[in-house]
Structure 1
């Protein structure tokens, strides 16, 4: 089993996948969760997250058009991260940079493909937030009456116990 893991880690295709997933995690997933759970969280209701979701789509679009924000020699959290704040794991970011520049020639095209597919999923996820949709037409009072948790933590906690 250990040999299979080692073989996978030494496989260029697997390393490219790890690198792409790491970049997405750093650029989108972590900053998104900082805005959902962190001290700078503005919304207390999942129904109020439409603007954040739109920002995610816009940022993904930027990264698709300009992947050098994550892979170029001047890549940084300022333009690469959804919130422009420091990388959650700078060591992971620099490891990807090191591998990408030396051994992973297809990483840019894989990153772009991954981002396009992620965007499709985000668009499906946020369809109810789109302009003209029920949530965009709802009054603040209606949104407050339909209040919902931002995360599924309560259910996950109950499942865990």
Structure 2
């Protein structure tokens, strides 16, 4: 694109989605070495699109399927890297990207893991998120401290001063490897410091909710208790994980069917049916209601597919 040409929407999206460096390398590594398909389950949009356009309720074979394994083996007959594997290999041998990865690893050991350990410990004790202002200010203060003295973390293996909580490293082997690589990475200090400064800006915005004189700070303990918030999202993630596992076992199960099963076992529905469903007409009525609800589920899927197709068409313009 020449300098006098206006950037199109498609070009703007392409630039926005083009990634590289440490984050892209980490994404590729996750896809290659620790793919999360076993957690994500199947891709609903593909199944619904296939059902709508081909007319067959089709489930793609899983990675344990013999036919799928045969396909993978055949594709690797050339005994060479595929595109993703080659990119991953190149990234690990490119000093700039390696420097970024080391900076990320150092940040995770000194800050990310200590924070997650602390916040999960509070969650296990049923602590109210609204009462964790001091904890978050403590971590923000640590960031400011390291910004003023970055060598405290860069040149140290002493976890008592180089981690935000003063607890042992999550991975001492990682720290030893960082210390081994650091002398060969001349830009590590500048990159690590720039990352910390960006992190500090985000944390300043985040802890503003706990600022002295703010709503949370001025609220009474009784008001905190009335507005109780969990420190983590584990409950919702646990429900999502259960859904994904169920969809692996029953890939054709609809969302409505899954919700109905959950309600049956967790909402005392089973006891209610055993007590009040005494006539055949009761069960026939329930079957009719379920069939009518299935129609609504199909409408929901069709609406999602229609929206996706419309979005794809707009992006191609």
TM more than 0.5: yes
Partner of 1:92: 174
Question: What TM-score, normalized to structure 1?
Answer: 0.92
Counterparts in 2 of 1:42 and 1:159: CA distance versus 1, 3 Å: closer
Q: CA deviation at 1:158?
A: 2.1
Question: Within 1, Cα distance between the matches of 2:100 and 2:86?
Answer: 19
Partner of 2:214: 133
Q: Is the 8 A contact 1:34 1:40 kept in 2?
A: no
Question: Within 1, Cα distance between the matches of 2:125 and 2:239?
Answer: 26
Counterparts in 2 of 1:41 and 1:106: CA distance versus 1, 3 Å: farther
SS at match of 2:92: helix
Partner of 2:27: none
Q: Is the 8 A contact 2:127 2:231 kept in 1?
A: yes
Q: Is the 8 A contact 1:35 1:41 kept in 2?
A: no
Question: Are residue 13 (structure 1) and residue 108 (structure 2) matched?
Answer: no
Question: Within 2, Cα distance between the matches of 1:61 and 1:41?
Answer: 28
Partner of 1:146: 227
Counterparts in 2 of 1:120 and 1:85: CA distance versus 1, 3 Å: same
Partner of 2:158: 76
- With a CA cutoff of 8 Å and minimum separation of 6, indicate the structure with the bigger relative contact order: 1
Question: Are residue 104 (structure 1) and residue 185 (structure 2) matched?
Answer: yes
Counterparts in 2 of 1:43 and 1:119: CA distance versus 1, 3 Å: farther
Question: What TM-score, normalized to structure 2?
Answer: 0.48
Q: Which range is displaced more, 34-43 or 145-154? A: 34-43
Counterparts in 2 of 1:51 and 1:42: CA distance versus 1, 3 Å: farther
Counterparts in 2 of 1:94 and 1:18: CA distance versus 1, 3 Å: same
Question: Within 2, Cα distance between the matches of 1:43 and 1:145?
Answer: 14
Q: Is the 8 A contact 2:136 2:207 kept in 1?
A: yes
- CA RMSD, 1 decimal: 1.7
Partner of 2:65: none
Correspondences of 1:48-59 after superposition (within 5 Å): 48-59=131-142
Question: Within 1, Cα distance between the matches of 2:125 and 2:132?
Answer: 9
Aligned length: 159
Q: Is the 8 A contact 2:159 2:168 kept in 1?
A: yes
Q: Is the 8 A contact 2:163 2:169 kept in 1?
A: yes
Structure 1: runs of 5+ lacking an equivalent: none
Structure 2: runs of 5+ lacking an equivalent: 1-82, 244-317
SS at match of 2:134: helix
Correspondences of 1:31-50 after superposition (within 5 Å): 31-38=114-121, 44-50=127-133
SS at match of 1:38: helix
